[in-house]
Amino acid sequence: MSKRNLWYLLGSLALLALLLGACQPAEPEIQQVEVTREVQVEVEVPVEVEVPVEVQVPEFPEGTSIHIVQWSHFVPQYDIWFDPFLEAWGDANGVEATVDHVGIPDTTAALTASIDAGEGPTMVEVLFAPSAFVNGVQDLTDVNEQAQALWGEQAASCANSSYLPAVDKWYGFCHSWIPDPADYDSALWADAGYPNGPETWRDLLEGGKAIKDKTGVPLGIGLSPELDSRMAGRALIWSYGGSIQDENENVVIDSPEVVEAVEFMAELFNNAMTEEVFAWTPASNNQGLIAGELSYILNSISAYRSLQKIDPAAADNIGFGPALIGPRGDQAASAHVWGIYVIPSYVEGAELEAAKAFLLHLTANANQAVFNSELYNFPAFPSTVPQLEGWVNKDPFGSRPQDKLALLADALNWTVYLGFPGPANPATGEVFGASIIPNMMGKAALGELSAAEAVCEAHAQIEDIFQKWRDDGLVGGEASPDCAVG
């Protein structure tokens, strides 16, 4: 190596070292959690759990196969369990059963492309009510009714995310839903006078402001065009007694309750958050909480499960709370996501019957699914997992205290669904995808529009979307073009 090249090499290494040095995150300015116990995490190895109901499976002709496309689960153990579970069912029933795991956005894209092409996978699992696909998928009324007959009532959050009343069709089969509790920094909130975390939105504002003023640590309720922000905005509106549509699918976002909720979000942003919430990604709240730089987020338990594995002491400091209560006592939050299988219309014959049989088999074994998701998934049919209450009261995955997740036992009482109190119809799906709610709140928070103006702007867009789907016969209700709070 020539002397000149040696200098270049040394220079490059020095530059690399400088860059790596600069990549160290700044020291978070927060109170450190005092850990007095010995740090030790004991995560039990997932075990086979008892199968509560045997499902009769018909015989399939030779050569029958099913191919499933579903998301790569946030909890890797779920996929590790699911793949051989599917294969074993296929082997036992003479069906060649295969699965492809893809990223979350690719599930919808795969379904769209398959329906358009008229060929593709047997089933696609999507995470949000795929009601816009209702005309391109099989009617699953029979399998839904069969499941209800076997296991009783289905969680309302699931039923309303797989049935479309406008066309009286079960377009999907929802086998699970994921609770979306609050995750908070216990030490910070205890210090602010809330040892059990905030219970109401007012608590969140007052406690969050106190924490930010004292420690500089903000709240993390997203106001960005992404999933968590869309969920958070809806939870606030519902807890203030408002909604996007009523139970008859009329647009009712132009209500004083929604204006009040938007005003509250502006107050919350200005007192307890920073502009980072406008740059939120689905990973932001997880990252912020794990780094100790957010005092409160709304999310599933997946971030906490990750933290348990990488920093058990910090995980001990995470507390969980139910949906926050609004000024008139309303309490509601959307499920985080749902596990909803749909079968495109091109799937017929033995392949269709095999797919339906597998759906029932999966539901019958929901306790394995819940356990292997490390209690991330909750069952659509509560009777299929009688162990659930015991698990959340004594977390088999090492929570300290053991009953940290106990609040999830009654999560069904405060968990609703996109479209609540009406069905999750295609219009609510498009409103969700277009991020109209977080943008409405964001405009008021930044002072671009008053709360009433922001609501009226959103009302005009939402009304337009609803009317379009009404024209297609997929949404009920009647047009109400004038904004009632303008």
Partner 1 sequence: MSVETVRPSRFRLLSDNERLLGAMMLAPAVLFILALVGLPLLISIAFSLSDVTVGDTSLDYVGLENFRRVIRTPQFQRAVINTFIFTTAALLIILVLANILAVLFTQDFRGKWLARILVILPWATPTSLGTLGWLWLLDSKFSPIDYVLVQIGLLGPDTLLGPGLHLNYLGREYLAMGSVVLVHVWRLVPLSAVILLAGLTSIDQELIDQAQVDGASGLRTHLQIKLPLITPIMAIASLFAFILIFTDLVVVFVLTRGGPIYFTQVLSMWSYNKGIEGGALAEGAAIALFFAPVLLVAAILILRTVRRIEVT
Residues that bind partner 1 (CB under 8 A): 4, 8, 12, 19, 22-26, 29, 108-109, 111-112, 115-116, 130, 132-137, 223-226, 274-281, 284, 287-288, 291, 293, 426, 429-430, 432-435, 439, 442-443, 446, 448, 457, 461, 464-465, 468, 471-472
Nearer to partner 1, 97 or 441 (CB): 441
CA distance 91 to 357: 14
Q: How far is the CB of 337 from partner 1 (least distance, A)?
A: 14
Q: Pairing state of beta strands 415-416 and 182-185?
A: unpaired
Residue reference for tokens 């029979």: 142
Asked if 254 and 459 count as a contact pair (C-beta separation under 8 A), the reply is: yes
Cβ neighbors of 93 (< 8 A, separation 6 or more) are: 57, 59, 60, 354, 357
Q: How far is the CB of 461 from partner 1 (least distance, A)?
A: 6
Nearer to partner 1, 2 or 56 (CB): 2
Nearer to partner 1, 49 or 434 (CB): 434
Q: How far is the CB of 19 from partner 1 (least distance, A)?
A: 8
Nearer to partner 1, 186 or 439 (CB): 439
Distances (CA, A) of 199 to 202, 233, 329: 8, 17, 11
Nearer to partner 1, 304 or 469 (CB): 469
Nearer to partner 1, 218 or 322 (CB): 218
Asked if 201 and 174 count as a contact pair (C-beta separation under 8 A), the reply is: no
Nearer to partner 1, 263 or 395 (CB): 263
Nearer to partner 1, 125 or 374 (CB): 125
CA distance 307 to 291: 10
Closest residue by Cα to residue 182 from 277, 334, 299: 299
| Cβ neighbour number for residue 83 with a 10 Å cutoff | 14
Cβ neighbors of 461 (< 8 A, separation 6 or more) are: 431, 434, 436
Q: Is the peptide bond before 312 cis (omega within 30 degrees of 0)?
A: no
Nearer to partner 1, 135 or 393 (CB): 135
Phi-psi map region of 398: left, alpha, beta (phi>0 left; psi -120 to 50 alpha)? left
Nearer to partner 1, 107 or 377 (CB): 107
Nearer to partner 1, 77 or 229 (CB): 229
Q: How far is the CB of 388 from partner 1 (least distance, A)?
A: 32
Give the tokens for residue 95: 């069906």
CA distance 245 to 260: 17
CA distance 319 to 301: 10
- Going through 223-376 in order, the beta strands assigned E by DSSP cover 296-298, 318-321, 333-334, 338-342
Nearer to partner 1, 7 or 100 (CB): 7
Q: How far is the CB of 245 from partner 1 (least distance, A)?
A: 16
Q: How far is the CB of 130 from partner 1 (least distance, A)?
A: 8
CA torsion through residues 426, 430, 432, 437, sign: negative
- Going through 347-386 in order, the beta strands assigned E by DSSP cover 378-379
Torsion of CA 340, 341, 344, 348, to 10 degrees: -150
Closest residue by Cα to residue 125 from 447, 380, 398: 380
Distances (CA, A) of 405 to 331, 399, 408: 19, 8, 6
